[in-house]
Structure formats: C-alpha cells, structure tokens
Amino acid sequence: MDSQMKTIYESVIARDPNQPEFHQAVEEVLDSLGPVIDAHPEFLPVVESMVEAERIIQFRVPWYDDSGNLQVNRGFRIQMNSAIGPYKGGLRFHPTVNQSILKFLAFEQVFKNSLTGLPMGGGKGGSDFNPKGKSDPEVMRFCQSFMMELWRHIGADLDVPAGDIGVGGREIGYLFGMYKKLANEFTGVLTGKGRSYGGSLIRPEATGYGLVYFAREMLATKGRSFEGATVAISGSGNVAQFACEKVLDLGGIPVTMSDSGGWIHDPSGIDREKLAWIMDLKNNRRGRISEYAKNFDGVSYSKSEPEPALNGLWDTDVDVALPCATQNEINGEEAKMLVKNGAIAVAEGANMPCTPEAVEVFLDNGILFAPGKASNAGGVATSGLEMSQNSLRLSWTREEVDQRLESIMVEIHKSASETAAKYGMPGNYVAGANIAGFLKVAEAMTAQGMI
Ligand code: NDP
C-alpha cells in the first residue's frame, strides 16, 4: 500500500480498533488508490474524509414475542456518503450484525452505487435480530418497532433502504406499512417493495441476474461462456436463487448450493425443476438445504463448520464459482482449491465473500475475479430503477427493466476493465472498480466543498 494510504489506514484502525470487517473493506480500497492520488493529489483529503461516515444512528428496538416476553434488539443506520445522491443501501437482520459489519457494507456501497452510474449515495443498516424461527406476527412486531425509530431518519430524497440478508419481501412490506402510517405519505422510501404497492419487476431477480451478466462479460474476454460450464454457487437465498436461474438460462450447470448449516453437491446439476423446489423450500417453507439431499438422488450433503467457512464446497471441480452467501466465505486455502480444480472465473454475488488472501490467490493465478461492488451492483441499480418508476408514477415491463439491468452491468464491466487498463493494471477488476467508483464521488465531494 502507498505510504499516504497507509497513514490513512492506520488512523482508521486507531479510531475504531474493534472493527475488523470495516478495516478489511477500507484496506482493499486504499490498496487500489495509490496511482489515482499520484495522478490527482488534490483528492487526498477526499480519501481521508470518505473513511468517516457522515452520520451513524443506533437505536433500541423493543418488541414482544408470542409468549408475551419483552425482547430488546439493537438497530442501526449508517449514512456513509451522500455526495452523489440520497443514501441508498440495504437492511440486514442477522444475529452477527454490529457496527463494524454495517460500516464495511456501507463503505462498499458508496463505490458500488457510484459504479452503477445512477445518482445514489451509500448507506447500510439493520439489526442483530434473528428472523429465523420467528412467527410472522413476531417479525411484524419487530419490523414495526424498528421503523418507529428509523422513519425519522429516512425519506425518498434523503435515505432509501432496501433488503439484504434476512430482509426479503415480507420484511420490506411490514417496514413500508409502518413508515407510511408514521409519515402519513406514500412515497418510494424503501425499495424491494411488492408489485402491488410500488415495487419494480425484476428487483427480486436483479442481484443474481446482474451477477451472471457481469460474469458472462468477464468470461467473454477469454473467449469463454456459461454454455456447458459447471458452476459452484454458495447460499440459497435471494442472490443465490436468481444467480442459479440465470446460469441455467445461459446454458450453465449449477452443481452446489448452501445455507448456514451446510452445502449440497448435485453432480447431475440443479435443473429448473430442482431450483423451483429450492425456492419453495427457502421462500415458503423456510426449510434447510439438507432436505434437498433427502429429496433428490445422487446428491451429497456436508455440514459446514465453523460458520461461515463452507469448507469443502470450494473443493469442487467447477469452471466458475459464484459465492452468494456472506462475507469471508472463501479464504486463501479455499481459493487454492478452486485454482487446483481448474476454475477460470470467480464472481462475488455476496459482499466481500473472498478474504484478501483469497483475492491475492486469484489474481496471482490469472483467474478472472470480479469484486462484489462491481458484480453484485445489479440489485441496487434496479432499486435505482424502482425509485425512478416511483417518482414517475410509472411501471416498466419486465423486459424493459431487464434490458436496463443488463446494459448497466455491461457498462460496469466496461468501466472497471477500462479504468484498470488506464491505471496500468489490465484485467484487475478490483482496482478498476475501486478507482472508477472513487473518481465520481471524489469529484462530487470536491465540488461541494468537502462538507
Ligand atoms: P438471504 O438472506 O436471502 O440469503 C443469504 C444466504 O446466505 C442464505 O442461504 C443463508 O443461509 C446464507 N448465509 C447467511 N449468513 C451465513 C453465514 N454466516 N454462514 C453461511 N451461510 C450464511 O440474503 P441475500 O441473498 O439477499 O444476500 C446474500 C449476500 O448478497 C449478502 O452478502 C448480501 O449483502 C449480498 N447482496 C445482496 C443483495 C440483494 O439484493 N439482496 C444486493 C447485493 C449484495 P441461512 O438461511 O441458513 O441463514
């Protein structure tokens, strides 16, 4: 890392020594910015400013469970950067949620949103609430209590949250209903809404579809495609399900999926019928992926311990890997397994699923590697399209939204690869995405007087 960047990185650690995930996300970006600051020394103060959130909100979320006992969770919203538009980024409900994880996600979101070309700043929020095993009324009471505080800090032109881990259509519905009641207005304050109340077609599919569009572009640079390629996917939530669907559309063969309990390997391929079964299992029955192995022949199931490392999943003989579960799920050793097994491309569907050691292994071995802030930007881009439709009071067709999503992903690929080449690192999508995302925000912050 360049010495000026190192000084900034050390001050980030000194300020918040107990935030390892945030340090990791900052380190990855600062690692790329040396050549930009050499070319634009006037942007150094921007970097110093960007690593500090504009505003952090933390609040108490009390709610009553079905037995009448009071439960108390912690809620957060990190408003990281509003230089190019209202804060925008998802809400995560997971027991591991803390300020470090949300700051890492909010920081990444700033660059990602900039890359989409749409006017969106970066934010992230959530709670250490665990929706797993809770009844619908419990989830509803929690969401209502969460929104009772959050509503005063968000707005269609201020901060527009969306879903993330543990926050899907059900939660967004309950959150939106409470916002509408408190604010006494119907606006596009959340994205990922249901179709009947302002949601966009393709938003549920967008992150997974966009990921595969990006990976397709990347493979094409080596004259390869998804046709006949075997694909390892981790996770079985929103991103993983629709990544799997788009891989099938493009003629690929998905062979793995996982949840926090373990992973399945289906050598004959997860076809459309099996994927529909997984969607029903996860979205309606809220069951475990282990049930897949009991339901279909020739499938192996392995438990993964310790969370979230998925162990053997990445020791599978595949051409493409799409990690779509959570942060730090592929470490250096697992990356070496993918190299050994002849993988040609890895594209991040989740945020920061590959550790810095894993990324180094991929880059050193000439594996095409797409960082999440580029390859999973389709979700937030389509949220941006949902905001536009809400403002216009219009609803675009499925084909219209999908075409816009596809062209945004093609543009992000182009911008990341051209920027990497311009700064002397051809093929390095990590550097390309960080630099391209940074430049737009840096220009806007400078123009606005660094406030
Ligand atoms: P979901 O909650 O729908 O699915 C998450 C999946 O990952 C589930 O299969 C879950 O298993 C698994 N998982 C979660 N935590 C862990 C863990 N600690 N160890 C192992 N497996 C785990 O979330 P999404 O699909 O929405 O999000 C997945 C990733 O994609 C996240 O990193 C998110 O930030 C990122 N992302 C999501 C976007 C979106 O539009 N939804 C946009 C951009 C990025 P289980 O059910 O057992 O918990």
Q: Which atom of ligand 1 is nearest to the CA of 207?
A: 40
Q: Is the dihedral of CA 403, 200, 95, 179 positive or negative?
A: positive
Output the CA 369–ligand 1 centroid distance in Å: 20
- What does residue 394 show for φ and ψ, rounded to 5 degrees? -130, 160
Instruction: Please tell me the residue having the least CA distance from ligand 1 atom 43.
Output: 376
The verdict on residue 385 lying in a domain is: no
Query: 354, 376 in Cβ contact below 8 A?
Result: no
Decide which of 324, 347, 366 is a domain's last residue: 366
The verdict on residue 373 lying in a domain is: no
Q: Which atom of ligand 1 is nearest to the CA of 167?
A: 2
Query: 178, 144 in Cβ contact below 8 A?
Result: yes
Count of Cβ atoms closer than 10 Å to residue 214 Cβ: 27
The verdict on residue 334 lying in a domain is: yes
pLDDT for the residue 323: 98
Residues 6+ apart with CB under 8 A from 220: none
Q: Indicate whether this model's pTM tops 0.85.
A: yes
Helices (H) and strands (E) in the chain, counts: 16, 12
Query: 222, 312 in Cβ contact below 8 A?
Result: no
How far apart (Å, rounded) are the C-alpha atoms in residues 223 and 414?
16
Q: Does residue 95 share a domain with residue 22? A: yes
The verdict on residue 59 lying in a domain is: yes
- What does residue 262 show for φ and ψ, rounded to 5 degrees? 170, -170
Q: Does residue 44 share a domain with residue 171? A: yes
DSSP state of 19: -
The verdict on residue 201 lying in a domain is: no
Output the CA 167–ligand 1 centroid distance in Å: 10
CATH number at residue 121: 3.40.50.10860
Give the 3-state DSSP-derived string for 279-290, with helices as H, strands as E and coil as C.
Answer: HHHHHHCCCCCH
Task: Judge whether 124 counts as a catalytic residue.
Answer: yes
Q: Which atom of ligand 1 is nearest to the CA of 380?
A: 42
The verdict on residue 353 lying in a domain is: yes
Domain ranges, residue 133: 3-186
Q: In the chain, helix, strand, coil percent, each to 5?
A: 50, 15, 30
pLDDT tens for the 451 residues of the chain, in order: 889 999 999 999 999 999 999 999 999 999 999 999 999 999 999 999 999 999 999 999 999 999 999 999 999 999 999 999 999 999 999 999 999 999 999 999 999 999 999 999 999 999 999 999 999 999 999 999 999 999 999 999 999 999 999 999 999 999 999 999 999 999 999 999 999 999 999 999 999 999 999 999 999 999 999 999 999 999 999 999 999 999 999 999 999 999 999 999 999 999 999 999 999 999 999 999 999 999 999 999 999 766 555 668 999 999 999 999 999 999 999 999 999 999 999 999 999 999 999 999 999 999 999 999 999 999 999 999 999 999 999 999 999 999 999 999 999 999 999 999 999 999 999 999 999 999 999 999 999 998 8
For 357-420, where are the E strands, in sequence order? 368-370
Torsion, CA 361, CA 366, CA 368, CA 369, rounded to 10: 30
350 lines ligand 1 (CB under 6 A): yes
3-state secondary structure at position 201: coil
Residues 6+ apart with CB under 8 A from 331: 309, 355, 357, 358
pLDDT for the residue 400: 97
Output the CA 164–ligand 1 centroid distance in Å: 7
Instruction: Please tell me the residue having the least CA distance from ligand 1 atom 7.
Output: 325
Q: Does residue 225 share a domain with residue 182? A: no
Query: 322, 243 in Cβ contact below 8 A?
Result: yes
The verdict on residue 27 lying in a domain is: yes
Q: Which two tokens stand for residue 303?
A: 């438990």
- Which one of 88, 103, 112, 124 is the catalytic residue? 124
Q: Does residue 160 share a domain with residue 73? A: yes
Q: Does residue 239 share a domain with residue 164? A: no
- What does residue 405 show for φ and ψ, rounded to 5 degrees? -60, -50
Q: Does residue 220 share a domain with residue 136? A: no
Based on the structure, what is the number of domains in the chain? 2
CATH number at residue 235: 3.40.50.720
Decide which of 319, 336, 366 is a domain's last residue: 366
Q: Does residue 262 share a domain with residue 143? A: no
How far apart (Å, rounded) are the C-alpha atoms in residues 188 and 96?
29
The verdict on residue 379 lying in a domain is: no
Decide which of 366, 400, 423 is a domain's last residue: 366
